[in-house]
Structure 1
Amino acid sequence: MSELSIETVRAAIESHPDPETGRPMGKTGQIVEVTVDGKNAHIKLGLSSHSAAIADEVAAMLESKVVAASPGANAKVEVVPHHRIAPRSGQAGLKIKSVILVGSGKGGVGKSTVAASLALSLQQFGSRVGLMDADVYGPSVPQLLGLEGRPAITEAKRIEPIRCGDMPVMSMGFLVERDQAVIWRGPMLHGSINQFLGETEWGELDYLIIDMPPGTGDVALTLSQAVPIAGSVVVCTPQEVALLDAIKAISMFRKVNIPILGMVENMSGFLCPDNGKTYDIFGRGGARAKAEELDVPFLGGLPIDIGLRIAGDEGRLAEVMANDEQARAPMDKIARAVVRNLASKAAAAPAKPSLPTL
């Protein structure tokens, strides 16, 4: 137990790992300012936009550390922006901090809706996010977001993505007519994925969310060779037939050395607006049980939401996710869990010091 002072406050929090890099905050210049007035401590803490989804959690943890070190003290953490550039990575040379794959072992489980919603939720928290639709044969992201048009080619011969607000989006759906099928063999698929990654003007992002095609094809292998993958999210529904295919997706990611951030149980119960009762149309809890069995984190469940379903069909998913906090809440919980799991990985294996922050 120590008397509250600037020194004791700094000593209590300086070793706390930065959620983005895992490095001690005292060494990364993120403890911007500490002031003490009697029993009250005020801390200005710098966090990058990569950590925006869990900024309040980090602040609460540091406040509790100060109180534990000086019982009877009051601590308030104010989070301020901490700018950190994204180093270029992979063969594609992307300036993206974390690439996250969203996949499933089968179609029809809402994978694309989850991928788009995850991207929108992270953006709503304040992160810089891009969305890439790698489901070349069945691209649905343009429909979900109400996007159309053909990407322009810049003077530097690079692809200018279509934008959903500030979010860059790239999909094969922008390059073919809606009623036309893409009939390609593996090499052409490999080439298109690399082109989407390496020749698109993504800019500098915290996250690139990639909507994977269903099944266990070679897209995951192509991506794993092109760019470092921060992790994957596996989407399934509660019934056993979907879980069997989700197991295959997990096995695929493990074989190509892509970390698994967790499982999402989609269509997890339906709350009837007429009587307030919840009906487990597809069952409930199957993904959580299977995640525990496979030693995979369970990120959360997403209930059947008729409003979101209609919004996706009408191309208004981004609008509803931005304006309806109740509809967005289950996905916000999952987005926080994803960022939290990335922070745990970073703390376990801190990044090496790189270029100074700007």
Structure 2
Amino acid sequence: MVSNNIKKLDNVKNIIAIVSGKGGVGKSTISVNIALALTKLGANVGILDADIYGPSIPLLLGVKDSKNILDNNKINPIQAHGLQINSIGFFIDEESPVMWRGPMASKCLEQLLYLTTWQNIDYLILDMPPGTGDISISLISALPKVTSIIITTSQNIALSDVNKSMLMMKKFNIPMLGVIENMSNFKCAYCGNSENIFSKNGGQFISKKYNVDLLGNIPFSIEMMKNLDNGIIESCNNVDNEISSIFLNIAKKIVNKLSILNNLEQEKNHSKEGKIPIFFKKMYKSK
């Protein structure tokens, strides 16, 4: 994994940025579902709403009326659904627009990230703002050991913008764990037919183009949309739910990929320290 030699984020083992090139592709919904799926695997998970101008995580998780507690210039995250949560949405009025220029918004996000008292986090999910602007660049380039997951739909306009996000990840050497295609199809509750409402195979196209894995295709769910709009997560946690099962499989892939990346990083560090890399040990033992 790539480290940008920036100050360490205490008590956080892995950072996963959920990225999209444009708004409206369901990035925040994906972030919430991935976070909840990882908790089902027994992980300690945090989620940071990094969309300063349009925070939605408090609403989706049903904690929009909560207020963070400041303690000795530190921020205690909101605890809900087995998650540790922070967002600018906890500090501003829900209907008040955030009218800050890029540097001020970036500084605010940095404080939310580093001043929060995260506790033994295995995976910190960052719900990133859309696009490749100041905030995304400042955060991505400053974080130690960050990885990314790219969210898209199959619309051509979404795929065009996703290309820009993919290139940004490559420019900053951010490992991409894979691509998720959201709203890939819609199954009619009455006739049972499935339709590709935003064309099809967009996620597959992007994954092949950039040689990254397609982690999953998420169907459009009216039930989940309505529930999350009202802060109800039961549909996310129902293991018998088709979409929940898909997210659980995605979470397992994420855990596996990060395990491999972390092992490779350890081997690289051992090699730099003059120690024998794991894959050479047998050669030395045989002599």
TM-score range, shorter chain: 0.7 to 0.9
- Equivalent residue, structure 1, for 2:201: 285
Kept in 2, the 8 Å contact 1:272–1:278? The answer is yes
Deviations 1:152-179 (A, max 9, x none): 111x321111121331101111111111
- Equivalent residue, structure 2, for 1:320: 235
Aligned residue type for 2:213: P
Distance in 2, matches of 1:199 and 1:92, equals 12
Alpha-carbon distance, 1:246 to partner: 0.6
Kept in 2, the 8 Å contact 1:194–1:226? The answer is no
Per the normalisation by structure 1, the TM-score is 0.70
- Equivalent residue, structure 2, for 1:119: 35
Distance in 1, matches of 2:161 and 2:256, equals 26
| Greater Rg by CA | 1
- Equivalent residue, structure 2, for 1:104: 20
Kept in 2, the 8 Å contact 1:133–1:172? The answer is yes
Kept in 2, the 8 Å contact 1:143–1:314? The answer is yes
Correspondence for 1:295 among 192, 211, 214: 211
- Equivalent residue, structure 2, for 1:198: 114
Distance in 1, matches of 2:184 and 2:69, equals 40
Distance in 2, matches of 1:230 and 1:197, equals 13
Confirm or deny that 1:255 pairs with 2:171.
yes
Seq. identity, %:
37
DSSP 3-state at the match of 1:98:
strand
1:3-22 aligned within 5 A: none
Correspondence for 2:45 among 129, 139, 142: 129
Confirm or deny that 1:182 pairs with 2:98.
yes
1:1-358 aligned within 5 A: 90-147=6-63, 148-154=65-71, 156-317=72-233, 319-326=234-241, 327-350=243-266, 352=269
Alpha-carbon distance, 1:181 to partner: 0.2
Deviations 1:299-350 (A, max 9, x none): 1110011111111111112x32223432311111221222222233234443
Distance in 1, matches of 2:175 and 2:248, equals 21
- Unaligned 5+ segments in structure 1 are 1-20, 22-88, 354-358
Per the normalisation by structure 2, the TM-score is 0.87
Distance in 1, matches of 2:166 and 2:119, equals 30
Aligned residue type for 2:70: I
Aligned CA distance change for structure 1 residues 229 and 346 (closer, same or farther; 3 Å): closer
DSSP 3-state at the match of 1:118:
helix
